[in-house]
Structure 1
Amino acid sequence: MQNNKVKILQTEILSDNWYTLNKITFEKTNSNGSIQTQSREAYDRGNGATILLYNKDLNTVILTKQFRLPTYINGNPDGMLIEACAGLLDNDNPEECIKRETEEETGYKISKVEKVFESYMSPGSVTEILHFFIAEYSKEMKTTDGGGLEEEGEDIEVLELSFDEALTMIDTGAIKDAKTIMLLQHIRIKNIV
């Protein structure tokens, strides 16, 4: 879908090392009819998927804990972040991606997932759309220890927390990850756990 009020004039690649950082110069027709030329940087890392595993009977959720450099740089003392399992689509559809990531990161092999919504996570600078899922888990679904893929440098701790404890961790600041907060609040609002 094209927006006839926006015209891309130039795209300059600033970095193509890990993902792509572009400087985009464009013209935009404002609501008053005036035309304005602007330049913005946009980081394209692809789209992703995230999931919250929950167990109704035990009133628990599965989260992960891993080192996140950007949080360390921005004042997180040890750089560790508690979050919902997630990963980039890597040319998969969102459902297949999240099933793969769930098994790699948490060790749970799930077959049924429910997509609950999509969201731009940082639309001022990042192109990514994140697909949000939830799924029930049971002890029988645990096939490995999880922990991520060593060849991708992943060193992920798997956490099983009571739902109430996870909600309290939002209040105390122990959970600061947006996607995780959104998923925990979703199952709270929907009264799922």
Structure 2
Amino acid sequence: MNTARIADRTLVYDGWYKFFRLDLDMPDGSRAERHLLDNGSAVAVLPYDPQRRMCMLIDQPRAAVLHADEAPILEAIAGNLDGADPEERIIEEAMEEGGLRLAELEFVSCVWSLPPVSTERVTLYLAQYASEDRVADGGGAHDENECITVHEVGLDRLRDLVLAGDLTDSKTLILAQALMLRRPDLWD
């Protein structure tokens, strides 16, 4: 396996995230400049109701999507870990973003979101819920200006979005595909 090492690290920006300029010593002896966004780790969940054949997705203003001049995208509920346990954190996020009480989580994977430039790894879960678990409005943390809209989407529509290539958030696509593979009975 080719191994490289970080020879030098320069902090370029320190705000909501940290941005570094790196010099890497490459396996062939050369030196290469790279850039790194240090945005910590995150967690995401795709809640689904097997009885009503629905799932919960959200949308919120995203700088990259706005920059691309595209319409808001549907996403799984997610949040930064900020040092917390992934299971505890996603249960908090489900309540904050979706007004949803979750109990049992099904681990899917822990994935690199953008390994060429980001430190972020996202722990992914599926979680069942029922209509009585929707105990609040959700909408996100008002002091964080999240402006989240909650959507309950039919599982047939979710499948159609996946198959048409219209579910464009990668963590949500992975979770939707995991649900389709693990629970094909929901579409029988």
Give the TM-score category using the shorter length.
over 0.9
> Structure 2 CA distance, aligned partners of 1:74 and 1:132?
26
Tell me the SS of whatever aligns to 2:26: strand
For residue 87 of structure 1, what is the aligned residue in structure 2?
Answer: 79
> Structure 2 CA distance, aligned partners of 1:91 and 1:102?
17
For residue 42 of structure 2, what is the aligned residue in structure 1?
Answer: 48
Measured after TM superposition, the shift of residue 15 of structure 1 is 0.8
5 Å-filtered alignment, 1:115-126, equals: 115-126=107-118
> Structure 1 CA distance, aligned partners of 2:12 and 2:147?
30
5 Å-filtered alignment, 1:62-101, equals: 62-76=56-70, 78=71, 80-101=72-93
Amino acid at match of 2:79: G
Tell me the SS of whatever aligns to 1:135: strand
5 Å-filtered alignment, 1:84-163, equals: 84-163=76-155
> What are the Cα deviations for residues 22-46 of structure 1, in whole angstroms up to 9, with x where unaligned?
01102121xxxx3121110010111
Measured after TM superposition, the shift of residue 4 of structure 1 is 9.5
Measured after TM superposition, the shift of residue 19 of structure 1 is 0.4
> Structure 1 CA distance, aligned partners of 2:172 and 2:6?
34
> What are the Cα deviations for residues 134-174 of structure 1, in whole angstroms up to 9, with x where unaligned?
11001111221000010010111111111111122234554
Relative to 1, partners in 2 of residues 1:14 and 1:105: Cα closer, same or farther, differing over 3 Å?
same
Which of 132, 154, 159 is the matching residue for 1:167? 159
TM-score (norm 1): 0.90
Q: Which runs of 5+ in 1 are unaligned?
A: none
* Residue pair 1:42, 1:127 contacting (<8 A) in 2 also: yes
Structure 1 segments (4+ residues) deviating >6 Å:
none
* Residue pair 1:47, 1:129 contacting (<8 A) in 2 also: yes
Q: Which runs of 5+ in 2 are unaligned?
A: none
Tell me the SS of whatever aligns to 1:83: coil
Which of 12, 15, 31 is the matching residue for 2:13? 15
Q: Which has the higher strand share?
A: 1
> What are the Cα deviations for residues 34-78 of structure 1, in whole angstroms up to 9, with x where unaligned?
3121110010111000000011111111111111111111231x4
Aligned-pair identity in percent equals 28
> Structure 1 CA distance, aligned partners of 2:165 and 2:6?
41
> Structure 2 CA distance, aligned partners of 1:5 and 1:188?
37
> Structure 1 CA distance, aligned partners of 2:146 and 2:164?
26
TM-score (norm 2): 0.92
Tell me the SS of whatever aligns to 2:139: coil
**RMSD of aligned Cα (Å):** 1.7
1:180 and 2:167 are equivalent in the alignment: no
> Structure 1 CA distance, aligned partners of 2:114 and 2:5?
22
